[in-house]
Amino acid sequence: MPKTEKPSEKDNHEPKKLPIYKHKDKLVQAVKENSFLIVTGETGSGKTTQLPQYLYKAGLCRNGRIGVTQPRRVAAITVAQRVCQEMGVQLGEEVGYQVRFDDCSTKDTMIKYMTDGCMLREILADPGLSQYSIVILDEAHERSLNTDVLLGLLKKRLSKASRGHQAPLKVVVMSATLETEKLSSFYGNCPVFTIPGRTYPVKEKFCNLIGPKDKESSVYVKEVVKVTLDVHSSEAAGDILVFLTGQAEIEKACDMLFEKAETLNYRYDVHDRTVEGLLILPLYGSMPTDQQRQIFQPSPKGVRKCVVATNIAATSLTIDGIRYIVDSGFVKQLNHNSRVGLDILEVVPISKSEAQQRTGRAGRTAAGKCFRIYNKDFWDTCMPNYTIPEIQRTSLTSVILTLKCLGVHDVIRFPYLDCPEERFILTALKQLYQFDAIDRRGHVTPLGRLMVEFPLPPNLTRALLKAAALECEDIVLPVAAMLSVENIFIRPGKPEGQKEAEARHSEIAAFAGGSNDFLMLLCVFEKCRASDNPSAWCKEHWIHWRAVKSAFSVESQLRDILLRLKQRKDFPHEKFEGSKSELLRQCLCLGYFTNVARRSVGKSFCTMDGHGSSILIHPSSCLFGQELQLDWIIFHDVLVTSRVYVRTVCPIRYEWVMDLLPKLHEIDVYELSSVAREEVTDEEMVHWEKKEAAKRQAEAREDAAR
């Protein structure tokens, strides 16, 4: 129970009390005087919410709007909401936001918060960014892939003066206190404006509950819950922020917090969401926005707020009143897995600098405490010093295609703040070549120009374009949409619900033919859309209605893009040969031939991309248990635990990929390195093609000899 009265946090909500306020005039002046400016300050000092307002009120966007990029969509949305509140305007008018598949802005929006991915798309559509007078790249320290690319692009763009008569674009880069010198020297030693922050000391405590070997979610979630309840029952007033890795885990932890509290004879009320003075709130990216807003509301008197969050609460969002941190030591991160040759979302230990950042969140308004559930051994042996920038650890395929479409031919010598490894760039080029998005010279093909228009991963885009060429996009659009939203299947944690949900899901699977996860998605989409009461239908079938609803909206947006592209003269048209019932699977093969596997021993499959990894079908797939009847499959995503599992699986026939598979080995990545660097002359090309042909002949001879 809280021992002392909660300190009043109300004042900190006032924009005039934020550290940035004192520097308002100097900041506006600095932006006026410089084309490039770095602004740095502790998280919570007011950079994201205040600076755009200052610039707007100072009349700096008379000739174009201010765009503020965020690596995370939730941040873009909630910050825009907050700024609207402060300015007393309607969201989507003067102040708005745009994230993938959700545009809440008009052409008159003057302050536009957007994801860095959306800003990249705007540059594609309008390379001079003629609608903008200022671009603020926020959260640069997060080093997201898209922000890193924007950093390089904006450096190039400006030097090219591609804006005609317009005043040059101003670029402001905002970052927490990391790497500002590096950023400044990247932009020709531009000035750095530091907002002095006031922070209070935070006591760090290692709880020694997990060590280097305890990486199972079930283990650390349990310990996190235990520590949180200890903090609640023994520490003075102040809110708690708990760091975990993702939605499922967070929901489980919240449930456990309730249950545990119940066994401690606490009052338990599901609707109230408070347990004996503890208000438990989850916070993760795919949460509905009205629920997210609740996080920022001060807790009622005598009640302690406990926010259980992903890493989003580390820098992107500041919740006032936090005095205690419970750190699990883990984060969910997209990493390129060279074992399987794919990007995989995996749970990994955080870096030491990340742990420091988490700790700092407890000392914003008063002295605080940080409880790390791990021990010193875990800190020393499992946690790297710094987080590696995303550009150095994920697939670059989409980004390289965007760069190529923007006319950046030399993607290796592009000005990266930190260069990705050359082999990653080459792998991306190879993939683009396999999808026919670029040719052997590294030039974008007409197909590549179509592909870049879709905010989807290349394999889905490729499948969709194939379907569209055959005039049957209606079967692939819903699938692409369903794969772009959060998981639609409800899988309850409790055994009773589990059985019921499984039974309902198998009914749908059976209806969809029982042997294709993609088709199952299509089936849910169509059944739900045809139903008189779609939300009731979802409830009955243990499907997340919210997810399906967003899939409806995504589908219509993708359809709009497609309709626009179909107007182009060069849009491909093809005739379909084969059976209609196989149409979906054949279209998918065009996109997923890079993810083909063939059954090898027992229930395991072997991938065909040259890695030859051994994989298993995940229990969540409707094909789980039918492995022995399968031969060839394609899959959408991969889950790596001690083994490699594939999810969203579809059986295929070898004939459908037979002509595509050689493409996987046709071009050597190192051959592409020359075309990645510079324009190749015709002569060099002829020479190279001859060499290639000779090589293939030699290989064929070798094969024949075997």
Residues of this chain, 577-616, that bind ligand CDP according to CB under 6 A? none
Binding of ligand CDP by 311 (CB under 6 A): no
Binding of ligand CDP by 360 (CB under 6 A): no
- Is beta strand 95-99 parallel, antiparallel or unpaired with respect to 132-137? unpaired
Binding of Mg ion by 40 (CB under 5 A): no
Among 40, 49, 394, 516, binds ligand CDP (CB under 6 A): 49
Residue number with CB closer to ligand CDP (312 or 512): 312
Q: Which residues pair with 647 in a beta bridge?
A: 637
Binding site partner of 328, from Mg ion, ligand CDP, none, Cβ cut-off 5-8 A by kind: none
Q: Which residues pair with 330 in a beta bridge?
A: 349
- Phi then psi dihedrals of residue 112, to 5 deg: -120, 115
Spatial contact of 86 and 51, defined as CB atoms under 8 Å apart: no
**Length in residues, the chain:** 706
- Stretch near ligand CDP under the rule CB under 6 A, chosen from 38-46, 459-467, 494-502, 613-621: 38-46
Spatial contact of 368 and 418, defined as CB atoms under 8 Å apart: no
User: Which CA distances in Å does 106 have to 64, 93, 518?
Assistant: 13, 6, 35
Q: How many helices (H) and strands (E) are present in the chain, helices listed first?
A: 25, 22
Binding site partner of 571, from ligand CDP, Mg ion, none, Cβ cut-off 5-8 A by kind: none
Residue number with CB closer to Mg ion (195 or 538): 195
Residue 281 token pair: 């709130």
Binding of Mg ion by 48 (CB under 5 A): yes
Specify the 3-state DSSP secondary structure of 514. Answer: coil
Q: Which positions from 74 to 103 touch ligand CDP by CB under 6 A, shown as an x/- string?
A: ----xx--x---------------------
Least distance CB 319 / Mg ion (angstroms): 13
- Stretch near ligand CDP under the rule CB under 6 A, chosen from 43-51, 150-158, 590-598, 669-677: 43-51
Binding site partner of 18, from ligand CDP, Mg ion, none, Cβ cut-off 5-8 A by kind: ligand CDP
Binding of ligand CDP by 48 (CB under 6 A): yes
User: Which CA distances in Å does 166 have to 63, 131, 250?
Assistant: 8, 10, 48
- Is beta strand 605-607 parallel, antiparallel or unpaired with respect to 342-349? unpaired
Binding site partner of 79, from ligand CDP, Mg ion, none, Cβ cut-off 5-8 A by kind: ligand CDP
Binding site partner of 53, from ligand CDP, Mg ion, none, Cβ cut-off 5-8 A by kind: none
Spatial distance between the Cα atoms of 213 and 336, rounded to a whole number of angstroms: 23
Spatial contact of 455 and 100, defined as CB atoms under 8 Å apart: yes
Helix pair angle (473-482, 583-592), 10° resolution? 60
Binding of ligand CDP by 394 (CB under 6 A): no
- In whole angstroms, what separates CA 237 from the centre of its chain? 35
Binding site partner of 41, from ligand CDP, Mg ion, none, Cβ cut-off 5-8 A by kind: ligand CDP
Among 40, 41, 76, 597, binds ligand CDP (CB under 6 A): 41
- Phi then psi dihedrals of residue 575, to 5 deg: -95, 145
Residue number with CB closer to ligand CDP (12 or 531): 12
Least distance CB 9 / ligand CDP (angstroms): 9
Residue number with CB closer to ligand CDP (133 or 318): 318
Question: Which DSSP helix (H) or strand (E) runs through 67?
Answer: strand 65-70
- In whole angstroms, what separates CA 646 from the centre of its chain? 20
Residues that bind Mg ion (rule: CB under 5 A) add up to a total of 2
The DSSP symbol for 72 reads: S
Question: Which DSSP helix (H) or strand (E) runs through 231?
Answer: helix 217-234
The sign of the CA dihedral 410, 416, 422, 427 is negative
Among 21, 206, 268, 296, binds ligand CDP (CB under 6 A): 296
Binding site partner of 141, from ligand CDP, Mg ion, none, Cβ cut-off 5-8 A by kind: none
Residue number with CB closer to Mg ion (47 or 369): 47
Binding of ligand CDP by 46 (CB under 6 A): yes
User: Which CA distances in Å does 492 have to 253, 332, 476?
Assistant: 14, 21, 29
Binding site partner of 246, from Mg ion, ligand CDP, none, Cβ cut-off 5-8 A by kind: none
Least distance CB 15 / ligand CDP (angstroms): 8
Binding site partner of 361, from ligand CDP, Mg ion, none, Cβ cut-off 5-8 A by kind: none
Least distance CB 353 / ligand CDP (angstroms): 17
Q: Which positions from 373 to 412 touch Mg ion by CB under 5 A, shown as an x/- string?
A: ----------------------------------------
Among 36, 39, 44, 354, binds ligand CDP (CB under 6 A): 44
- Stretch near ligand CDP under the rule CB under 6 A, chosen from 46-54, 216-224, 369-377, 452-460: 46-54
Residue number with CB closer to Mg ion (48 or 133): 48
Residue number with CB closer to ligand CDP (78 or 395): 78
Helices (H), 545-619: 545-566, 583-592
Specify the 3-state DSSP secondary structure of 239. Answer: strand
Binding of Mg ion by 115 (CB under 5 A): no
Residue number with CB closer to ligand CDP (200 or 511): 200
Binding of ligand CDP by 24 (CB under 6 A): no
Specify the 3-state DSSP secondary structure of 370. Answer: strand
- Phi then psi dihedrals of residue 534, to 5 deg: -60, -35
Residue 325 token pair: 């941190």
DSSP3 helix / strand / coil % (the chain, rounded to 5): 45, 20, 35
- Stretch near ligand CDP under the rule CB under 6 A, chosen from 37-45, 99-107, 445-453, 627-635: 37-45
Residue number with CB closer to ligand CDP (18 or 538): 18
Spatial contact of 80 and 99, defined as CB atoms under 8 Å apart: no
- Phi then psi dihedrals of residue 336, to 5 deg: -80, 125
Among 122, 255, 320, 436, binds ligand CDP (CB under 6 A): 320
Type of residue numbered 635:
F
Binding of ligand CDP by 18 (CB under 6 A): yes
Spatial distance between the Cα atoms of 72 and 635, rounded to a whole number of angstroms: 27
Residue number with CB closer to ligand CDP (48 or 228): 48
At CA 489, angle to CA 332 and CA 514, rounded to 5? 120
Among 40, 45, 431, 595, binds ligand CDP (CB under 6 A): 45
CA dihedral 16, 17, 18, 23 (to 10 degrees): 60
Binding site partner of 23, from ligand CDP, Mg ion, none, Cβ cut-off 5-8 A by kind: none
- Stretch near Mg ion under the rule CB under 5 A, chosen from 39-47, 345-353, 646-654, 679-687: 39-47
- Stretch near Mg ion under the rule CB under 5 A, chosen from 43-51, 88-96, 363-371, 567-575: 43-51
- Stretch near Mg ion under the rule CB under 5 A, chosen from 40-48, 296-304, 393-401, 648-656: 40-48
User: Which CA distances in Å does 20 have to 14, 15, 43, 68, 112?
Assistant: 12, 9, 11, 17, 20
Residue number with CB closer to ligand CDP (310 or 515): 310
Closest CA to 623 of 645, 600, 640: 645
- Phi then psi dihedrals of residue 333, to 5 deg: -140, 140
- Residues of the shown chain interacting with Mg ion in the complex, contacts defined by CB under 5 A: 47-48
- Residues of the shown chain interacting with ligand CDP in the complex, contacts defined by CB under 6 A: 12, 18, 41, 43-50, 78-79, 82, 296, 318, 320
